[in-house]
Structure 1
Amino acid sequence: MQKKPTIAISIGDINGICPQIALNAHNKIKEICSPIYFTNYEMIDKAAKLLNIDVPYDFEVEYIKGDFKIRPGTIDKKSGKYSFDSFKKAVIFTKKGITEALVTLPIHKKAWEKAGIKYKGHTDALRDFFKKNAIMMLGCEKMFVALYTEHIPLKKVPKEIKTKKLKKFLLDFYSSLVTHNTSLQIPVLGLNPHAGDDGVLGNEEEKIKKAIKKANEKLKKEIFFGPVVPDIVFTPNFRKNYKYLVAMYHDQGLSPLKALYFEESINVSLNLPIVRTSVDHGTAYDIAYKKDNKINLESYINAVKFAANISQKRIVDEL
């Protein structure tokens, strides 16, 4: 019988829905992996009492320092620091091989800022921790979208469209995929409406086209194509033929993805020496700790399943 992987679960923002997700999903998660939750029993007990649910008897915790009042739905520097400390220690455990993968529950970027944390989010921090260009890919088995740029102001995106940088991104993205199917084709979206209309609506597409050409030359096969007109990529007839897409910026890729597959999608960090996945939603302060709130666990369970599958594949590949 194959041993279940041990997975680190960073607790996320304790003022949001994260503790409820962890507690409610535990019985399902332990069928997939051996989870270790990076929190402490005092804080998880406080959350459980507010939620009026029990902490499972086999809820294994790795201690994170912190003992403060939970303030449901509130941006707070204490919860921000606690979520960062949980995340950082979970990364260390995974890097050392104590845990075989990392699943992160959502944090609040403003809470991190209030706590004096310099990172804008998990992916930004992972880039610094590992000195690698972590790639953010979101989606589900039906479709995954990789983001060339992520959490930057929209006005800065055009300046980031650089042939050399995009070529490296495309190569890193392809090398990080589990499948290296030689017949795989990956559309790369243009930046402008109508992919620039031959320069009428913008010329960034020329740089995208060059990056695609150079990446394919390096791979010695035609993997990437485009730039594709962004407003056709997510139509049913187009997307049925492609599992992976590359978007130029955050909302270009994620707005249609979430409209299609929000509840089941996950966030995956590629191009790192560790396996890291996350839910595809935020802290949901508006419903945190409220009676009879309806929390969908599908994204979290899918994130754990994906992390478990990838970590098992890595273990097999190393044998």
Structure 2
Amino acid sequence: MPPLKTLAISVGDLNGVGFEIILKAHTQVRTLCRPLYCIDRLMAERAAALLGNTLPDDFECQSVGESFEIRPGCVDATSGHYSYNSFKEAVELAKTGTADAVVTLPIHKEAWMRAGIAYKGHTDALRDFFSQDAIMMLGCEQLYVALFTEHIPLREVADRLDSESLIAFLIRFYRSTKAHKAGVLGLNPHAGDHGVLGDEEGFIEEAIEEANRRIGHEVFEGPIVPDIAFTPRFRERYGFIVAMYHDQGLGPLKALYFDESINVSLGLPIVRTSVDHGTAFDIAYQNRASVTSYLNAVKAATTLQRYQENE
């Protein structure tokens, strides 16, 4: 059998549920890969002790920074800075080939802000690290949803929508996923009702047509009326959906597959997957966190391929 892949695991905000998930799932994860945890051993021991546990003998740590006091459930600049350093170290291990992929546990956006970190989250940082326009995609085997726009105010979404930007997005998405069929949502209710409720669907139609022409076959269909796209009939037709904005895609997805879903960064020279949930400060260090999303993220990280710009 080929050797197991090495995954660099960034531990997320240590005031949240990330380390509990890591510790709970370690034995099973060890059968899937060689996990290299981006956390100093002292901090790992402190977190394990707060959970009433000890570190397994095969728990490999990668030093990332100075130690600090873990404060379960608290938004803290120090913990935010540590989670950022853990993430940067994991990315560096993948860039240098020490690790085959990166898996991230949840960070807290306000903690990053308090720490003076300019990024809103992992995907924003990855775009800057690699100078490439990474795509945020979330979901599971049953359904994946890619986001054309992400963490921007809703009032700005329509201004970001133009044919050329969406064409580039769709082609990049296809090269990363090799999707057989993908549904593209309209922006407006009823997908605009042929201009009655908005005209942005004209840009979407143009982008779908041109993206399919450049790809050489019809991958993308739409614009689909958003309020029916997640019904059983459409979920059977499309394994992938492209949403125009964050809550349009992720609200229905999480209602259907919250525990199973993961986050994938497409269009990068490294593979990065993540859990599809937050720090859950309200249950931190209470041994109540689910490991399902994390295990799915690990499994995906061992199978996904790096994006090649010139495919």
Shorter-normalised TM range: over 0.9
Deviation, 1:169, is 0.0
Task: Say whether residues 1:204 and 2:186 are aligned partners.
Answer: no
**Equivalent AA in structure 2 for residue 301 of structure 1:** L
Q: 2:296 aligns with which of 295, 302, 308?
A: 302
* Mapped partners of 1:310, 1:276: distance in 2: 9
* Mapped partners of 1:159, 1:74: distance in 2: 36
* Mapped partners of 1:156, 1:57: distance in 2: 50
* Mapped partners of 2:211, 2:85: distance in 1: 38
Deviation, 1:65, is 1.0
**What is residue 93 of structure 1 aligned with on the other side?**
93
Deviation, 1:294, is 2.1
Instruction: State the identity %.
Output: 57
**What is residue 267 of structure 2 aligned with on the other side?**
271
* Mapped partners of 1:61, 1:164: distance in 2: 45
Deviation, 1:289, is 1.3
Deviation, 1:152, is 0.8
**What is residue 241 of structure 1 aligned with on the other side?**
237
DSSP 3-state at the match of 2:285: coil
Return the TM-score normalized by structure 2: 0.97
**What is residue 16 of structure 1 aligned with on the other side?**
16
Task: Say whether residues 1:50 and 2:44 are aligned partners.
Answer: no
**What is residue 165 of structure 2 aligned with on the other side?**
165
Runs of 4+, deviation exceeding 4 Å = none
DSSP 3-state at the match of 2:172: helix
DSSP 3-state at the match of 1:8: strand
* Mapped partners of 2:47, 2:300: distance in 1: 27
* Mapped partners of 2:224, 2:57: distance in 1: 52
Deviation, 1:2, is 1.5
* Mapped partners of 2:198, 2:160: distance in 1: 14
DSSP 3-state at the match of 1:63: coil
**What is residue 152 of structure 1 aligned with on the other side?**
152
Deviation, 1:110, is 0.5
* Mapped partners of 1:223, 1:49: distance in 2: 51
Give unmatched runs, 5+ long, in structure 1.
315-319
* Mapped partners of 1:231, 1:17: distance in 2: 33
Q: How does 1:188-199 map to 2 (within 5 A)?
A: 188-199=184-195
**What is residue 282 of structure 2 aligned with on the other side?**
286
Question: Aligned Cα RMSD in Å?
Answer: 1.2
* Mapped partners of 2:137, 2:34: distance in 1: 25
**What is residue 81 of structure 1 aligned with on the other side?**
81
Deviation, 1:300, is 0.1
**What is residue 130 of structure 1 aligned with on the other side?**
130
Task: Say whether residues 1:174 and 2:162 are aligned partners.
Answer: no
DSSP 3-state at the match of 1:240: helix
DSSP 3-state at the match of 1:255: helix
* Mapped partners of 1:19, 1:45: distance in 2: 11
Deviation, 1:170, is 0.2
DSSP 3-state at the match of 2:204: helix
**What is residue 250 of structure 2 aligned with on the other side?**
254
Return the TM-score normalized by structure 1: 0.94
**Deviation string, structure 1 residues 12-64 (Cα, Å, up to 9, x no partner):** 00000011011111001000000000011111111111110121111000001
* Mapped partners of 1:65, 1:12: distance in 2: 14
**Deviation string, structure 1 residues 96-154 (Cα, Å, up to 9, x no partner):** 11100000000000000000000000000000000001001111111100100011111
Give unmatched runs, 5+ long, in structure 2.
none
Aligned length, in residue pairs: 307
* Mapped partners of 1:100, 1:89: distance in 2: 13
